[in-house]
Amino acid sequence: REAAREILESAARRDTNRLGVEAMSLLDAYGIPTPDGEIVDARSDAVEAAERIVGGDGEDGGGGDDGRGGDSEVVMKIVSPDILHKSDIGGVAVGVPPEEVGDTYEDLVTRARNYQPDATILGVQVQEMVDLDSGVETIAGMNRDPQFGPLVLFGLGGIFVEVLEDTTLRLAPVSEQSAREMIDEIDAAPLLRGARGRDPVDEASVVETLQRLSQLVTDFPAIVELDINPLVATPDGAQAVDVRLTID
Ligand code: ADP
Ligand code: MG
């Protein structure tokens, strides 16, 4: 809780009410699993971060061994409070091999500058690859309704969330029972439960994430909006791969 307070206060000091992946540590502080990642602001630091991330002990094996030789690859994302939808401006590079990390760092910063010359660029996030093939991209979020309070949202995530609109809402705090119901309610529920010979995802870990998110937004009324998209649900657990939030 203290760690979370510190993160929100430092954002307020920076005079911004929007936070992106620089707020990943807020999720960590509430026990919501996130892939290994680091924000850097120099090309050489990006290379070092990538080496550390792929060379680590690999204890949670987010990259998976799918035989495609992708174990040394990382994901890189522009980090800027002025760029809310990173992939819209080419600000997300997935599957970057070690020899391209340096150039990709420069590319991402250039794209952000071209998109908005006066954008505040905090750096580039270098992140562990998450195995999307064995997982489902879901969204877990919160919108504070002026009348009802914090509404926790769950649904099918990824880049099609607006198109498919397969989501459901509950007022926070969300009980374990309601979190389970939320999963039941979405049309994509069979996808999470092993449709077409897939392994079912770890539902308990999705339930836990929804409850932890609900706790976070209950503890901090200053958070008016928060989206974890995607929350990648796999048979081995759920991981928050991207986050953005608005504080007031
Ligand atoms: P944004 O939503 O701002 O465009 P995201 O961080 O959500 O940026 O990345 C966009 C998409 O890129 C995700 O929905 C996911 O499909 C893919 N992606 C992002 N991070 C990873 C990762 N660590 N491993 C695998 N795929 C990723
Ligand atoms: Mg996203």
- Establish whether this prediction's ipTM goes over 0.85: yes
Residues 41 and 115 in one domain: yes
Mutation test of ligand 1: which of 92, 125, 159 has the most ligand atoms closer than 8 Å to its C-beta? 92
Q: Which of 68, 101, 128 is the last residue of a domain?
A: 128
Q: Which of 128, 149, 173 is the last residue of a domain?
A: 128
Atom of ligand 1 nearest to the CA of 83: 3
Rounded mean pLDDT of 72-89? Answer: 95
Answer positive or negative: Cα dihedral of 16, 28, 74, 101: positive
Helix, strand, coil percentages for the chain (3-state, nearest 5): 40, 25, 35
What's the pLDDT tens digit per position in 11-54?
888 778 899 998 899 999 999 999 999 999 999 999 999 999 99
Say if residues 179 and 204 touch (Cβ distance below 8 Å).
no
- SS3 label, residue 123: strand
CATH of the domain at 81: 3.30.1490.20
Atom of ligand 1 nearest to the CA of 242: 6
- Bridge partners, 149 (sequence order): 145
The set of residues, in sequence order, having a beta carbon less than 8 Å from that of 9 and lying 6+ positions away, is none
At residue 171, does pLDDT exceed 90?
A: yes
Range of the domain at 164: 136-247
What's the pLDDT tens digit per position in 111-169?
999 999 999 999 999 999 999 999 999 999 999 999 999 999 999 998 777 788 899 99
Ligand 1 contact via 81 beta carbon (within 6 Å): no
In a domain, 14, yes or no: no
Q: Which of 128, 152, 167 is the last residue of a domain?
A: 128
Residues 148 and 214 in one domain: yes
For 183, counting Cβ atoms within 10 Å of its Cβ (0-12 exposed, 13-18 middle, 19+ buried), the class is buried
Residues 191 and 115 in one domain: no
Give the pLDDT score at 56: 65
Give the pLDDT score at 57: 53
Ligand 1 contact via 127 beta carbon (within 6 Å): yes
Say if residues 4 and 218 touch (Cβ distance below 8 Å).
no
CATH of the domain at 214: 3.30.470.20
